[in-house]
Amino acid sequence: MQTLLILLTAGAALTLILLVSLLPRESQRFFQDSSSIGKSGYWDTDLVMKLSVLLASLALFALLIYFMIQAL
């Protein structure tokens, strides 16, 4: 069981690294806030990819919390 959880954690970490590297780079311009009016929001573009990154990071977080509680 412990080995399976370790493999799941390593898999979730590698998946998260891969998904984050595949995301397109977002340009940030804080000095021109009015230029983003009328443009699509962050979640409107590449929704599936961003949701999969979110789910992979939540899975990794849950596994790491589980390991921390188990070590007590």
**In a domain? residue 1:** yes
Confidence of residue 60 (pLDDT cuts 50, 70, 90): very high
Measured CA to CA, the distance from residue 51 to residue 67 in angstroms comes to 24
37 domain-assigned: no
- Tens digits of residue pLDDT in 5-57: 889 899 999 999 999 898 877 665 555 555 656 566 667 778 888 899 999 99
Tell me what pLDDT residue 65 has.
93
pLDDT of the residue at 37: 60
Q: What is the pTM of this model?
A: 0.70
Residue 39 lies in a domain: no
In a domain, 71, yes or no: yes
How many structural domains is the chain composed of? 1
